[in-house]
Structure 1
Amino acid sequence: MKFFDQVGKMAMGTRIRFLGDKITQDAAQIYKVYDNALQPKWFPVFYVLSSDGESTVTAIAEYIGHSHASVSKILAEMSKAGLVLEKTDPKDRRKTKISLSKKGKEIANNISDQFQDVGAAIEEISAQTTHNLWAAIEEWEYFLAQKSLLERVIEKKKQRESISVKIESYKPKYKEAFFKLNEEWISKYFKMEQPDRDALGNPKGYILDKGGAIFVATLNGEPVGVCALIKRDDLNCFELAKMAVSPKAQGKNIGYLLGKACIEKAEELKTDRLFLESNTILKPAIRLYEKLGFKKVVGPPTPYERCNIQMELRLNTGN
């Protein structure tokens, strides 16, 4: 079709659905050719019952990868067609056992010729094609199970948009942005505390002059994210802190880029670990820290009321 030639992979879902619809339409007619009163969508449930003798909705759903509701709906349709029977499990009256009816068993006994002919037809198509569709589907299912198409597209979106983001070292002109970006997110979820005011109000004296670093993410020249690396002499390490990203710039991988910049700086400073404090209600932040390699630890007493989780990242700096 010209449409698929022009649109390409963007229409993969539509093309697969078209192919699936065509095969399903043929399958419905094939059942009629062999006088087997089945619908294609019933086949997975029918197969389980013909193989196992009897089962439960939950067991069938788990085996064929359908939802409980989907299997229940199919069984209701099959029951209406007279193909299945239901009975209460005598060992557990909360469970219902499902099995094929006499009519269903007759189809199970007569369907072997259809299986053989359908299998031969598919093998014939496979022999005529360059690519093995069945093997390709298995590969796609495997890799989509590792990371969904949605996750992959979001990842590519962030990568593309992050190209416009620049990570810079702190300059005095960013003092106001460092304060305001942090104040914005802290005030949204918690309240400003004295340690916040100490660090945000005097970044040079509290962070930079003590051997730390601050990084600023800019988008089109505008500061939209910040993060600090604070030297912790009491812990003999550095703390990743004061990370904040403007809501209008979120979803552009900025937090990850700032975190990586801090990690690279920490490695340059030859520290063997990074420490951070956060709160578990900030689920995206916790996921980001985990992506950067941080793991939960039990650390020292914290000066922050809002902190309920501490994490650290071990660095291979040769120390």
Structure 2
Amino acid sequence: MNFYQRLGYLVLGSRLRRISESFLSEINRAYQQEGIEFEASWFPVFYLLSQHDTLSIKELSEQIEVSHPAASQLITNLKQKGLLVTTTSTTDGRKQQVTFSDKGRELLTQIKPVWDAVELSMNAMMDSELGCKELLPAITALESALQSYPLANRISRNIHNQSKS
């Protein structure tokens, strides 16, 4: 049992971050091996635009659950790479609408097969490893528990309960 496994929930965040970084690194390596210039961090924007054609920056930030400035920064980066185009909304001059450029649409057609392969590979891996089948339901349950009663509140309650004992 390694350091992280021994410490259990005390290092859950660090462990999840390590898994996430490793996962994203592997996904990026898969794109590179296919000769596709795409970063896994762009996936949420590309996926949403592949489903909706055009969205406002606010809609994107709400869907991917990041701050408006973070979404705006990502959109700016993708615009600079020539993958996205923004236009001012015809109904609200303060709103920026985001859509694919021709180059972005072309990239989308290249990356969709990688998405399919990622899903197939992950499903096969999860089916082959004991305990992995419950990973996504467990993550969903954890997210729900954290939303219903934040961890900081739980910790504070336990600190105060311990001091009373």
TM-score, length-scaled by structure 2: 0.91
Shift of 1:42: 1.3
Deviations 1:164-189 (A, max 9, x none): xxxxxxxxxxxxxxxxxxxxxxxxxx
Q: Which residue pairs with 1:64 in the alignment? A: 64
Shift of 1:35: 3.3
- Alignment of 1:143 with 2:145, yes or no, is yes
Which has a greater percent of helix?
Answer: 2
AA aligned opposite 1:134 = L
**Greater relative contact order: 1 or 2 (C-alpha under 8 angstroms, separation 6 or more)?**
2
Name the SS for the 2:35 alignment partner: coil
Task: Map 1:136-215; keep pairs closer than 5 Å.
Answer: 136-163=138-165
Q: Which residue pairs with 1:222 in the alignment? A: none
CA distance in structure 2 between the aligned counterparts of 1:155 and 1:130, rounded to whole angstroms: 35
Q: Which residue pairs with 1:119 in the alignment? A: 119
Which has a greater percent of strand?
Answer: 1
Name the SS for the 2:126 alignment partner: helix
Q: Which residue pairs with 1:172 in the alignment? A: none
Deviations 1:173-220 (A, max 9, x none): xxxxxxxxxxxxxxxxxxxxxxxxxxxxxxxxxxxxxxxxxxxxxxxx
| Number of residue pairs the alignment of both structures matches | 163
Q: Which residue pairs with 1:47 in the alignment? A: 47
Name the SS for the 1:111 alignment partner: helix
Shift of 1:128: 1.9
CA distance in structure 2 between the aligned counterparts of 1:136 and 1:78, rounded to whole angstroms: 33
CA distance in structure 2 between the aligned counterparts of 1:88 and 1:112, rounded to whole angstroms: 28
Q: Which residue pairs with 2:18 in the alignment? A: 18
Q: Which residue pairs with 2:33 in the alignment? A: 33
CA distance in structure 1 between the aligned counterparts of 2:109 and 2:139, rounded to whole angstroms: 30
Larger radius of gyration: 1
Name the SS for the 1:22 alignment partner: helix
AA aligned opposite 1:10 = L
CA distance in structure 2 between the aligned counterparts of 1:36 and 1:139, rounded to whole angstroms: 35
Q: Which residue pairs with 1:87 in the alignment? A: 87
% identical aligned pairs:
24
TM-score, length-scaled by structure 1: 0.49
CA distance in structure 1 between the aligned counterparts of 2:29 and 2:5, rounded to whole angstroms: 30
Deviations 1:199-245 (A, max 9, x none): xxxxxxxxxxxxxxxxxxxxxxxxxxxxxxxxxxxxxxxxxxxxxxx
CA-based RMSD of the aligned residues comes to 1.5
Shift of 1:8: 2.6
AA aligned opposite 2:48 = V
AA aligned opposite 1:48 = L
CA distance in structure 1 between the aligned counterparts of 2:130 and 2:154, rounded to whole angstroms: 28
Shift of 1:154: 1.0
Shift of 1:12: 0.9
Name the SS for the 1:87 alignment partner: strand
Structure 2: tracts of 5 or more residues without a match: none
Shift of 1:108: 1.7
CA distance in structure 1 between the aligned counterparts of 2:35 and 2:137, rounded to whole angstroms: 31
CA distance in structure 2 between the aligned counterparts of 1:92 and 1:67, rounded to whole angstroms: 20
Q: Which residue pairs with 1:247 in the alignment? A: none
Shift of 1:19: 0.6
